Amino acid sequence: MAKIAFIGGTGPEGMGLAMRLAKSGNAVFIGSRTEERAAEAVAKVLEAVPEGEVYGGFNPEGAEKADFVFVTVPADAHHDILVDLADAIADKIVVDVVVPMVWDKEGPRAIEVEEGSAAEQAQALLPKAKVVSAFHHLDATELQKVQKPMQGDVIVCADHRPTKKKVMDLVEQIEYVRALDGGGLANSRYTEQLTVLLLHINKIYKARAGIRVTGV
C-alpha cells in the first residue's frame, strides 16, 4: 500500500480523498501550514476511518515522506506552494487535483493558466516530478460520506504512462469508481474546466454531480 500526502489536506477535497484512500489501506498524511489544523483534520479522518493509518503535519514533511503527493490547495495557492515544495517533492509522483477557477457574481468561472492548465503549470514548476492530473470530478462532500459508495469516473491525464497506470490503480481502490485514461497532461485543461460546468449543474439541480463516460 502507498504513502500518500495531501498538500492542503485540511480542506474538504483533500480530507475526502484521504478518507477514501485510508479506507482502502494506504498510509495518508494530512499536510497543512499549521500543526493545529493538520491535527484537527487527522482527527476527522480517523473518526470516519478508525482503522486508518493517518498522520499529519506541515506540508513539506508530507511531501518528503510520501510516494504520491496530492495537491489539494485552492487555485490561487497552487503556484506558490509548488515553488516552496519543489525540493521536498523532487522526482516524486504529483497528483494535481486543482481546478483553476474563481467564484464571482455569476457563480463559478474557469480562469486561464499561462501553461494551459494547473497540471501543466505544476509540471513546469517541478520538472523532475511526474505530474498526473486526476480526481477533479469527485465531489468533496460525497467523498467524506465513506459508508456510501462513490459513483463516477475519474479521468486521468499524464505524459508518463507507467505513472499514469499507478494513479489509475489508486483511483480504482475507491469502491465503484472507474479510472479512464484521458491521454496526455495537455488534456488536463478539459478535465479541470469540466469541473466548473459540474458546479453550475450542481447549482441548477441542487445536486453533487460527477461524470460517467459511456461507450468505454
Ligand X SMILES: NC(=O)c1ccc[n+]([C@@H]2O[C@H](COP(=O)([O-])OP(=O)(O)OC[C@H]3O[C@@H](n4cnc5c(N)ncnc54)[C@H](OP(=O)(O)O)[C@@H]3O)[C@@H](O)[C@H]2O)c1
Contact positions toward ligand X, by CB under 6 A? Answer: 8, 10-14, 32-34, 37, 72-75, 77, 81, 97-99, 136, 139-140, 195
The answer to whether the beta carbons of residues 38 and 10 sit under 8 Å apart is: yes
Q: Which residue has its beta carbon closest to ligand X?
A: 11
| Nearest approach, Cβ of residue 53 and ligand X (Å) | 20
Total Cβ atoms within 10 A of residue 55: 18
What separation in angstroms does the CA of 182 have from each of 56, 153, 154, 177, 192?
31, 11, 9, 15, 12
Q: How far is CA 156 from the centre of its chain?
A: 11
| Nearest approach, Cβ of residue 99 and ligand X (Å) | 3
| Nearest approach, Cβ of residue 12 and ligand X (Å) | 4
| Nearest approach, Cβ of residue 81 and ligand X (Å) | 5
Pick between residue 12 and residue 25 the one whose CB is nearest to ligand X.
12
Pick between residue 2 and residue 39 the one whose CB is nearest to ligand X.
39
Pick between residue 149 and residue 161 the one whose CB is nearest to ligand X.
149
DSSP annotation of 150 reads P
DSSP annotation of 87 reads H
The answer to whether the beta carbons of residues 122 and 75 sit under 8 Å apart is: no
Pick between residue 72 and residue 117 the one whose CB is nearest to ligand X.
72
- Residue 41: burial class (beta carbons within 10 Å; 0-12, 13-18, 19+): buried
| Nearest approach, Cβ of residue 154 and ligand X (Å) | 10
Locate 58 and state its grid cell. 506541515
The answer to whether the beta carbons of residues 66 and 104 sit under 8 Å apart is: no
Pick between residue 1 and residue 149 the one whose CB is nearest to ligand X.
149
| Nearest approach, Cβ of residue 6 and ligand X (Å) | 9
Pick between residue 195 and residue 215 the one whose CB is nearest to ligand X.
195
